[in-house]
Amino acid sequence: MSCHLTEEELWSGLDRDAPEVNDHIAGCPTCQGRAADLKRGVEVLTAASSPPASRPMPAKVGSYRIQRILGEGGMGIVYEAEQQAPKRLVAIKVIRGGKHVDDYRLRLFEREAQTLARLKHRAIAAIYEGGRDDDGQPFFAMELVRGVPLTEYVREQNVPRRARLELFGRICDAIHYAHLRGVIHRDLKPTNILVDSDGEPKVLDFGLARITDPEGTLKTETLQIGRIMGTLPYMSPEEARGDADEIDVRSDVYSLGVVFYELMTDQLPYRVKKAALPEAVRVICEEPPRRPSSLTRSLRGDLDTIALKALEKEPARRYQSAAALAEDVHRFLTDQPILARPASAFYQLRKFAVRHRLFALFTVALIALVATVSIWARNTNEIVRKGADDAMKLQDLAMAVTELRLAESYRAQGRFDAAEPFYRSALSAFNMLGREDREGLALTRLASLLISRPSDEKGGKESDYVAAEELLTDAMELFEQMGSSGVEAQLGALTLLQTLYSPDVWGFAEGLAEVNQDLQALQAELDARGRENDRGQRPG
């Protein structure tokens, strides 16, 4: 009987005591024999490399007095210990095997200490010291975290959904902090995220972390190429396939997506715990996850979209960072349009209406009133039809004013890309309605947005500045046609041109000189008007 389970997959499952591998071995005579051979080999190596007797709990490790065992794993033992100076309780992690530890485990252990030394964040357990004790046994001391696993905490405390989302956002912030410092966790799951009595999360266990240099290239090589490392239900497809070269920060984003899914539904997106390893890997890599709303109907909409975006099979289709995932969670909590879906005008207006209910109700009422007048006008004589035309114009004007205010609101929030389409829509409407004053205002406001919008390129985007110059030129022509009533508006447009032509923005010296002359002339005209007004108000 042949079996498609590779040697790496079999060994990884045995090493992790994975239920899915154990179930597969129980029904596969071929793998039973292979597993027995592997176990015998491990026993021989262990016997050859281990000390003659098991090491009892020490009284001290370095300068730390040991209190009790907190936990044991394949890598090492964690003790609660007392530090003398400063006086505090800490967690001491000691590698298994002592002086006889093999190079592979030693590198893993030292890498975990190296990883934690990079990170100083309130939501990541801090490392205090690393070294070797008097017997040469490697250890490191770290922050003692008293808490419960994330999913256990939210269930026991019956944490409401909003608080769960806020808690998840803080976890994403901690992981993004680690990513910025070249650390990819690679084993994110609820048992590695403890929540303390104050409701604050702490991310633990960076034993499988991958370290990169500041440019994002690998600095520490993967220790076992092709070996599946981590916890299967939380693995990204590239990790489940053992594609070491494909693992990056987006692999942690996928694991965060599984954690997010579990926080929202109390279930995992895939049923893989009892599946044989090859089948579990196939499910993760090929089958789409269950929609969260199929389990909890109230998740339909944005939360569905956020979860499925984080769980995309292809890394390029996921959120590209933990910060981007956290931002969409924040947008949902503040009733803003999330970025994971195309932001249609209707969708943005609906979100705006949620945040500004009174203004939205007033606008809807105004539009409804105008629509009612227009429907009535179609059944009357020529004079009434003209009234209907006026009402339609009023409706268009109301919509344009609403769009302009919406654009201003988005701009005030620093959301320049969201504001731009509303500025352009309002500008088009004012042009069609012949409202030169409003059109000039929209032209200058849109130009101002293009000038001030941040850019990845030093000095700004030239295309934005060229467009802004054209908009301001059009505005100047409108204000000149308006005569004396447009002089003050013309002054504002010229001031924007002066900003655009300044050396700090575009540096168009010839244009700047001409604009400065026009500004002086306009200012002189306004000063003259002010003096005439003053004389007209003096008593005769």
Whether 304 is catalytic:
no
- What is the signed CA dihedral for 61, 63, 64, 66, rounded to 10 degrees? 50
Say if CB 164 and CB 264 are below 8 A apart.
Answer: yes
Lateral strand order in the sheet of 88-95: 60-61, 64-72, 76-83, 88-95, 138-143, 127-132
CB atoms within 10 A of CB 176: 21
Residues 6+ apart with CB under 8 A from 169: 326, 329, 330, 333
Say if CB 460 and CB 505 are below 8 A apart.
Answer: yes
Say if CB 69 and CB 91 are below 8 A apart.
Answer: no
Q: How far apart, in whole angstroms, are the C-alpha atoms of residue 50 and residue 5?
A: 30
Say if CB 116 and CB 166 are below 8 A apart.
Answer: no
Say if CB 240 and CB 258 are below 8 A apart.
Answer: no
Q: How far apart, in whole angstroms, are the C-alpha atoms of residue 461 and residue 480?
A: 29
Q: Would you list the DSSP string of 330-343?
A: HHHHTT---TTS--
Give the 3-state secondary structure of 353-368: HHHCHHHHHHHHHHHH
Tokens 């429907």 identify what position? 375
**By three-state DSSP, how is residue 157 classified?**
coil
Residue from 187, 205, 248, 474 carrying the catalytic annotation: 187
Q: How far apart, in whole angstroms, are the C-alpha atoms of residue 478 and residue 442?
A: 12
Token couple for 64: 């730390």
Nearest residue to 104 (alpha-carbon basis) of 74, 133, 78, 131:
74
Token couple for 414: 């620093």
Residues 6+ apart with CB under 8 A from 127: 113, 116, 117, 140, 141, 142, 143
Q: How far apart, in whole angstroms, are the C-alpha atoms of residue 110 and residue 64?
A: 19
Do strands 193-195 and 183-184 pair parallel, antiparallel, or not at all (unpaired)?
unpaired
**By three-state DSSP, how is residue 195 classified?**
strand
Q: How far apart, in whole angstroms, are the C-alpha atoms of residue 204 and residue 145?
A: 9
Nearest residue to 447 (alpha-carbon basis) of 399, 508, 492, 504:
492
Which residues are marked as active site? Answer: 187
